[in-house]
Chains A and B, each alone.
Chain A
Amino acid sequence: MKSIKRYLLATLLIAATTVAAVVTYGSYLQTTKEVEELFDAELAQMARVLQSLLENQLKRAQITHLQQALKYQPFVTPKLYTEGNEATPFGHKYESKLAFQVWNQEGQELLGSDSNEVTLSFQLNTGYSNEHIGDYAWRTFMLKDRDLNIWIKVAQRGDVRDELTEEIVISNLLPLGMMVPLLGFLIWLTVSRGLAPLHRLSNQITRRNPEHLKPLNTSDSPEEIKPVVAAINGLMEKLADALERERRFTADAAHELRTPLAGVRIHAQNLTQRPDPQMTSQAAEHIIGGVDRMTHAVEQLLTLSRLEHQSDPEFSHQDLATVVRQETAAIAPLALEKQLELSLSLEPEDSHFPLLANLSGLQILCRNLIDNAIRYTPTGGKIEVQLRRDKQQVMLVVTDTGPGIAAADRQRVFARFQRLGQQLIQGSGLGLAIVKEIASQHGARIILDDNYADQTGLKVMVMFPEYTATAPR
């Protein structure tokens, strides 16, 4: 169905024409029947009129007189007849298509219409029958007069009837034929008007683009289109959201990379201006710091991008204790540099914490959590990494004595590039987004809480489902 309009136009027209044809055929059959009956009755009537005429005549006069009298001249001047005006004051066009004959008991012809020199057959059975005489089919009626002992046969040419039936049917067909184009026009008009809301909708949609995704107006849509419009609006809303997220991500990523780049550039430029020795060493430090920062940002961006596009990470049997121990050891120098107290404790001691996990994901998660704690904890603070088991869950808890996160902000920090306005602490703002992504890959939950044991601080809990030999992942 390429076009609803054409489809409706075609099907409705075909349906209407079919109905009209059926009705016409029905009326043809009916007309034929009625015409037959009418003519048959007329034939019988003619035979009886003839009979009563003959009855009187045969009693009084010679049959020859009658024959003479009956030799009438049929009215044949075809030019007088015009279509629709077959009946003239002089006779009727169809007169020659009527015939009669009268026989005595022996089959000797007594009387006959002379028109067209039609010779009717003589059979000894009364009533109606169909005959072929010459080129034509005739309808005949035979009547027997028992008193006079004569047979009277009246005949009519079949094509008269057919012609009449035909004309009746044709005169019925004509208005039907005129109806079809009129109907077509009306259907076209209605369908066009009915489909107008679709056109308006498509015009509205045409005006939308990624920069302009306002919801479509539903107020003038008919009921049938409303669900479509609602679905499109829903889709556009999601699209706008996704585009907005992407836009913000790009802008944030640009900021995260361009700001340290600008810093590096300007410090390098300052170095070319022959500053004093103190400024020179400071500028060099800023350049190194800026490059480190960009390196970190690029690494985090790549990690996040890989995580988000990883369709099927490889899972294997891992001991969380081993991974956490390795990562804590690797990052410990950073903590020592900042004079932070970093500790790792297992509960119960020396036990294993089996997980079905993606090894590199687990490593990145641990590293990011501890790294965050180190970044945000001021010098002299304390960071505790704990592992414990709780109701078929393996819990990784990282507690620090940093500023903590207000309860209202705890959902927000998992978004990419969220940094709660602490620009002085250098970070990419992607750490928790990465942690969240990995946790969700492992079916783990993350809970942020206050560090109640100390004055201030954050407690991050990651709860992994424990791996047992029987439990499916």
Chain B
Amino acid sequence: MRLLLVEDDPSLGQGIVDAFSLQGETMDWLTDGRLGLEALRITTFDLVVLDLGLPGLDGIQLLQQARARGIDTPVIILTARDQVEDRIRGLDAGADDYLIKPFDIAELNARIRALLRRRSGYTSAIISYGDILVDPASRQVTLNNEEISLNRREYSLLLEFLHHPGQVFTRDQLTEQLYGWQEGVESNTVEVHIHHLRKKLGSQFIKTIRGIGYRIEQTP
């Protein structure tokens, strides 16, 4: 799962990035609206957490321009403005949800999960794929009702596949999803994680498309 945070306040931004890193999620962070729009254009994110008062390009403008360019990445707005018309303005500009500062990190998490769930067409909070059940709220994964223990990278990778069944991911895409713009990632780390996932969830679970990448079947 790849998240982008556009927040100009250094302290709040660092806090959110730290919180997600503690959960094992990668979050890219930008402090300028114009750079945020640029990043959305060239990189595919699963979700954007967007502050409204940004230098360079206001959050609302960023959102409008992104939507105008057909970028439909789910967006959660962070705002200090609690007036109804401000919220309406944000939602009208193309936001999917909003949170008023200050907020609970668990609530931000829950909203992100809900948006991703809606995006991938799951109506229930529990994701099921064949014998595999994933509860994103508790990060619990079971295979045939037996709990499977995954580390946070493996979990992220599994969720990425489950959110897009049938889609083929290249190794570079998966690396970026897992590590963001972080540097110095070993070139074969994705293979290692996939190897572990196959060992834990069955060897036929993730298919290799030779020379291209990996996928799971559209239907189990």
Contacts and interface: CB of A to CB of B under 8 A. Distances in A.
| Chains A and B come from one and the same complex | yes
A259 B19 contact: no
Contacts of B14: 263, 267, 282, 286
Contact of B102 (A256, A258, A286): A258
For the residues of A in contact with B, the DSSP-based class is: helix
A289 B80 contact: no
Given A258-B101, A259-B9, A262-B103, A267 B55 contact: no
Contact of A262 (B53, B83, B102): B102
B83 to A, nearest CB: 7
A423 B9 contact: yes
Contacts of B102: 258, 261-262, 264-266
B120 to A, nearest CB: 27
A261 B86 contact: no
B18 A275 contact: yes
A262 B14 CA distance: 11
B19 A269 contact: yes
Interface size class of B (residues with CB under 8 A): 20 to 34
B18 A267 contact: yes
A290 B102 CA distance: 12
Interface string A271-311: 00101000100110010011001000000000000000000
Contacts of A289: 11
Interface string A243-268: 00001000100111111111111110
A377 B9 CA distance: 19
A126 B10 CA distance: 129
Contacts of B55: 421-423
Interface in B95-120: 100-105
Given A260-B12, A267-B18, 12 more contacts: A251-B81, A258-B101, A259-B9, A259-B12, A261-B101, A262-B101, A265-B103, A266-B105, A270-B15, A283-B18, A286-B15, A423-B55
Interface of A: 247, 251, 254-267, 269-270, 273, 275, 279, 282-283, 286, 289-290, 293, 421-424
29 contacts: A247-B83, A251-B83, A251-B86, A254-B80, A254-B81, A255-B53, A258-B102, A259-B12, A260-B12, A261-B102, A262-B101, A263-B12, A263-B14, A265-B103, A266-B12, A267-B14, A267-B15, A267-B18, A269-B19, A269-B105, A270-B19, A273-B19, A279-B18, A282-B14, A282-B18, A283-B15, A289-B11, A293-B11, A423-B55
Nearest to B56: A421
B201 interface: no
B8 interface: yes
Contacts of A290: 11
Q: Which interface residue of B55, B86, B102, B103 has the most chain A CB atoms within 10 A?
A: B102
Given A270-B18, A270-B22, A263 B11 contact: yes
B16 interface: yes
A258 B11 contact: no
A421 B53 CA distance: 9
Interface in B161-187: none
B31 interface: yes
A293 B9 CA distance: 12
Interface in B3-54: 8-12, 14-16, 18-19, 22, 31, 53
B19 A262 contact: no
B56 A262 contact: no
Contacts of A247: 83
A263 B19 CA distance: 11
A422 B8 CA distance: 9
B82 interface: yes
